[in-house]
């Protein structure tokens, strides 16, 4: 059978391409969870769904009450901040590697087979 490789030539048909491309959905692959704007709030939202992180947050909040204060307020915050930072860095690196893989896949030359 015949086969052909489709490579869009946007220089000559830019206006026509823009009209036609608005009619159809984009077929780019996107497996990343975060963008630069939503990384911090979304990551914190996901981390505080873990029971251990909620427990440490509860200890921090409880330690700010003068009657219950067991240690210095700053010392209680260190484990929580440490865990949140380490997990955020890990999630950020994983998401960046997904972004690089998506970019590589989306820029592959496509072969279109026709009947």
Model pLDDT, residue 57: 92
Q: Where are the domains of the chain?
A: 31-107
Are 30 and 102 in contact by the 8 Å Cβ rule? The answer is: yes
Mean pLDDT over each residue of the chain, to the nearest integer: 83
Whether residue 5 is predicted with pLDDT greater than 90 in this model: the reply is no
22 versus 32: which is more confidently predicted?
32
Q: Give residue-wise pLDDT tens across range 32-82.
A: 999 999 999 999 999 999 999 999 899 888 888 888 777 787 888 998 999
- Claim: this prediction has a pTM higher than 0.95: no
Q: Can you read off the two tokens belonging to residue 43? A: 């990551």
Q: What angle do CA 38, 39, 40 make, to 5 degrees?
A: 100
């Amino acid at each position: 059978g015949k086969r052909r490789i489709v490579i869009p030539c946007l220089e000559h048909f830019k206006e026509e391409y823009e009209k036609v491309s608005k009619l159809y959905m984009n077929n780019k692959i996107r497996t990343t969870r975060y963008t630069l704007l939503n990384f911090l709030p979304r990551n914190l939202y996901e981390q505080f769904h873990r029971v251990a992180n909620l427990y440490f947050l509860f200890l921090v909040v409880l330690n700010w009450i003068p009657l219950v204060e067991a240690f210095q307020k700053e010392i209680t915050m260190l484990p929580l901040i440490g865990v949140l930072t380490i997990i955020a860095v890990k999630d950020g690196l994983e998401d960046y590697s997904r972004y690089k893989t998506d970019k590589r896949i989306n820029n592959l030359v496509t072969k279109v087979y026709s009947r």
